[in-house]
């Protein structure tokens, strides 16, 4: 048995198809925009970790009872809700050839490494590439510019 796809459709089907495509796009575009501007939140706990996205503002109660207000757009929020300090580290990769220099991102200009005290919150503009002690940065990366050869690692 061979399945055939008709090459012509009735007008009603074409209108329904157009309406469903417009409906899908009208729902998908705002969700994509919100996911781009929502703040990634990394929560480090004594028994593990969690990731979520923050749309707007909210409050969070730490394990020691302290309540913190969280608000962020285009930022990364790190909540260290555990007894151990966490660190934001940079991993710089060397190249066998000279890469074009870019001044916007170096480990020193980023203020790294940075320690996040237990039961505290850190808001940063840094993009976290690797999260946790098991998610280690790779041995090498491919980059077009020198600043692209820097990866940010949040570990504890």
Give which of 131, 143, 53, 49 is closest to 95, Cα–Cα. Answer: 143
**Per-residue confidence at 4, pLDDT binned at 50, 70, 90?**
very low
Give which of 89, 84, 71, 92 is closest to 128, Cα–Cα. Answer: 89
More confident residue, 42 or 150: 42
Give which of 36, 47, 45, 43 is closest to 58, Cα–Cα. Answer: 43
Per-residue pLDDT tens digits for 75-126: 889 999 999 999 998 887 766 556 555 555 556 666 778 899 999 999 888 8
Provide the pLDDT for residue 11: 44
Res. 1: pLDDT tops 60: no
Mean pLDDT over 56-76 rounds to: 85
Provide the pLDDT for residue 113: 83
Question: How far is 59 from 67, CA to CA, in rounded Å?
Answer: 7
Question: How far is 112 from 39, CA to CA, in rounded Å?
Answer: 21
| Model pTM score | 0.66
């Amino acid at each position: 048995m061979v399945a055939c796809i008709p090459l012509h459709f009735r007008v009603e089907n074409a209108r329904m198809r157009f309406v469903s495509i417009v409906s899908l796009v009208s729902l998908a575009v705002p969700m994509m925009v919100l996911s781009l501007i929502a703040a990634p939140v990394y929560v480090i706990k004594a028994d593990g970790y969690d990731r979520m996205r923050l749309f707007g503002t909210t409050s969070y109660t730490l394990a020691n009872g302290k309540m913190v207000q969280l608000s962020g757009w285009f930022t990364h929020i790190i909540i260290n809700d555990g007894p151990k300090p966490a660190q934001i580290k940079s991993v710089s990769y060397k190249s066998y050839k000279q890469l074009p220099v870019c001044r916007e991102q170096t480990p020193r200009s980023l203020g790294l490494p940075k320690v996040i005290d237990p039961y505290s919150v850190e808001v940063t503009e840094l993009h976290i590439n690797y999260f946790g002690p098991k998610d280690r940065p790779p041995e090498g990366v491919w980059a077009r510019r020198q600043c692209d050869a820097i990866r940010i690692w949040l570990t504890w």
